[in-house]
């Protein structure tokens, strides 16, 4: 190629490059629009891909939703806690019924025919005047029947020892009245044995009550219409009269006996002989070293706190179904479970409750 031709070629190339560059500049000015479009297209494509993913797999939790739930959860928990605290405060010292009426006890004619075990998990009752049963309060266990000594009379009262190993059972007979001690044999009721604690002609016994150490039994002895409380040793058979009255119950330390005389609950200090009046009522039961629960004449429960020089009494909130109808409250050893006997029409019903 010649120089002048080369030169024009070069000049031609320069113009072409210039034109190309100019065209590129023009294109570049148009590029932002294209990039933007590209970005939009890309975003749309990603979104579409996500939608397709969600359709084929579970959706990942939304962080915002999770956070919302956390907040609600905390808030709800706080509300529940507050409500629980309110309920606890409001229902403090309340008796809550677990079972309004225990089945099969309607035949009982008196409150002392059924007794709550110290562990609060069993009851013992005499049925038909000649049979003794123990029954667990949980439904998955069966009741046990004990063979009592044959009698022409009837068995009328039962009381658990504090160890739960023995039952005091009162036999009422025209000729002679007896108190038997029956072992609650761990090997089965069939092998349980009885021993005669007391036997007397012309006297009627009822409402036996074991001392906390199980070495003595207090009971009501009635002769000639007069009721007295006697205490018999279960080891030496020594016995003594302690006071006039009925329905004895030993204090947790064994130093006092609560009893009823003339429709009034009183407390006898066994060491000093001092008698202290508590209030009108029946069926006293020690629920603390310085507290006695008893049934008012109106059929409700009262807790009397024995201060040094006075007695402070408070009504115990009772279930509505039993209000104004309570005959007796029999307490477990830890004073949390209660067997309540109450009037249900013409007969007695027995309910099981717990105390908060």
166 binds other proteins (CB under 8 A): yes
Residue with tokens 């009494």: 313
215 binds other proteins (CB under 8 A): yes
In this complex, which beta carbon is closest to other proteins, that of residue 117 or of residue 148?
A: 148
Q: Which stretch binds other proteins (CB under 8 A): 49-57, 97-105, 185-193, 220-228?
A: 185-193
Pairwise CA distance, residues 341 & 108, whole Å: 10
Here the tokens at position 19 are 């034109």
65 binds other proteins (CB under 8 A): no
Q: Which stretch binds other proteins (CB under 8 A): 55-63, 160-168, 247-255, 275-283?
A: 160-168
According to DSSP, the residues that pair with 159 across neighbouring strands are 168
Burial status of residue 345 (CB atoms within 10 A of its CB: 0-12, 13-18, 19 or more): exposed
234 binds other proteins (CB under 8 A): yes
148 binds other proteins (CB under 8 A): yes
Question: Are the beta carbons of 340 and 351 closer than 8 angstroms?
Answer: yes
Pairwise CA distance, residues 265 & 245, whole Å: 9
With CB under 8 A as the contact rule, the residue among 100, 121, 143, 183 that binds other proteins is 183
With CB under 8 A as the contact rule, the residue among 236, 272, 310, 346 that binds other proteins is 236
- Name the phi and psi angles at 6, rounded to 5: -60, -45
Residue with tokens 């309910």: 351
In this complex, which beta carbon is closest to other proteins, that of residue 92 or of residue 191?
A: 191
193 binds other proteins (CB under 8 A): yes
Cα 137-170-256 angle, rounded to 5 deg: 85
197 binds other proteins (CB under 8 A): yes
- Residues contributing to the site for other proteins (CB under 8 A): 147-150, 161, 163, 165-166, 181, 183, 191-199, 214-215, 233-238
């Amino acid at each position: 190629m010649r120089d002048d031709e080369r030169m024009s070629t070069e000049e031609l190339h320069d113009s072409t490059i210039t034109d190309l560059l100019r065209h590129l500049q023009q294109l570049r000015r148009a590029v932002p629009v294209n990039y933007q479009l590209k970005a939009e297209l890309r975003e749309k494509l990603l979104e579409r891909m996500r939608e397709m993913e969600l359709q084929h797999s579970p959706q990942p939790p939304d962080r915002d939703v999770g956070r919302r739930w956390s907040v609600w959860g905390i808030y709800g928990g706080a509300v529940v806690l507050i409500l629980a605290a309110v309920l606890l405060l409001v229902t403090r010292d309340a008796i809550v019924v677990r079972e309004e009426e225990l089945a099969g006890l309607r035949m009982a004619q008196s409150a002392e025919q059924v007794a709550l075990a110290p562990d609060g998990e069993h009851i013992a009752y005499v049925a038909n005047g000649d049979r003794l049963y123990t029954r667990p309060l949980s439904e998955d266990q069966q009741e046990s029947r004990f063979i009592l000594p044959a009698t022409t009379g009837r068995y009328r009262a039962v009381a658990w020892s504090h160890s739960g190993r023995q039952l005091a059972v009162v036999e009422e007979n025209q000729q002679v009245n007896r108190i038997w001690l029956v072992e609650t044999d761990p090997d089965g009721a069939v092998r349980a044995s009885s021993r005669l604690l007391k036997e007397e002609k012309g006297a009627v016994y009822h409402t036996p009550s074991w001392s906390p150490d199980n070495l003595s039994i207090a009971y009501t002895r009635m002769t000639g219409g007069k009721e007295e409380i006697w205490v018999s040793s279960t080891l030496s058979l020594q016995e003594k009269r302690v006071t006039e009255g009925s329905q004895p119950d030993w204090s947790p330390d064994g130093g006092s006996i609560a009893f009823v005389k003339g429709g009034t609950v009183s407390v006898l200090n066994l060491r000093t002989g001092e008698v202290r009046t508590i209030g009108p009522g029946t069926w006293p039961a020690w629920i603390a070293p310085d507290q006695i629960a008893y049934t008012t004449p109106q059929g409700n429960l009262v807790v009397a706190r024995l201060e040094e020089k006075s007695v402070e009494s408070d009504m115990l909130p009772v279930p509505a179904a039993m209000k104004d109808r309570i005959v007796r409250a029999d307490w477990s050893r830890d004073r949390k479970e209660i067997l309540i006997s109450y009037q249900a029409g013409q007969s007695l019903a027995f309910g099981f409750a717990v105390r908060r």
